[in-house]
């Protein structure tokens, strides 16, 4: 029974990740993307092959990258972090603006 419940939970999480309207990115300890949902690919404009393996710092404007290291230290120390930042799409526009039109 436990295996069936794990499989059902796994399927639900897969469904949530695929169809969520929110961007979901999972990172490894080196802050490289190890998984991204379809919404993340759509909004960031990267292909899966480019986004997977990308470091978090690459998605930030240059002026925010220095703060990232301090944020990670706080996260590891406190076990949580509330942080606001602007991320960049593949075309260089930020996520707060409309994507560039082709």
Which homologous superfamily is 2-54 in? PAS domain (3.30.450.20)
Torsion sign (Cα): 38, 40, 46, 50 = negative
Domain boundaries, the chain: 2-54, 58-87
**Residues 2-39: tens digit of each pLDDT:** 888 888 878 887 887 778 888 888 888 889 999 888 89
CA–CA separation, 80 vs 61, rounded Å? Answer: 23
Question: What is the predicted pLDDT for the residue at 55?
Answer: 94
Instruction: Determine what percent of the chain is predicted with pLDDT higher than 70.
Output: 93
Mean pLDDT, the chain, as a whole number? 84
């Amino acid at each position: 029974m436990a295996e069936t419940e794990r499989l059902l939970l796994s399927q639900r999480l897969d469904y949530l990740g695929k169809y969520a309207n929110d961007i979901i990115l999972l990172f490894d300890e080196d802050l490289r993307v190890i998984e991204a949902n379809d919404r993340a690919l759509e909004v960031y404009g990267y292909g899966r092959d480019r986004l997977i393996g990308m470091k978090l710092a690459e998605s930030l404007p240059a002026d925010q990258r220095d703060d990232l290291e301090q944020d990670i230290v706080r996260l590891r120390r406190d076990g949580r972090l509330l942080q606001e930042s602007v991320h960049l799409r593949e075309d260089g526009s930020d996520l707060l603006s409309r994507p560039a039109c082709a």
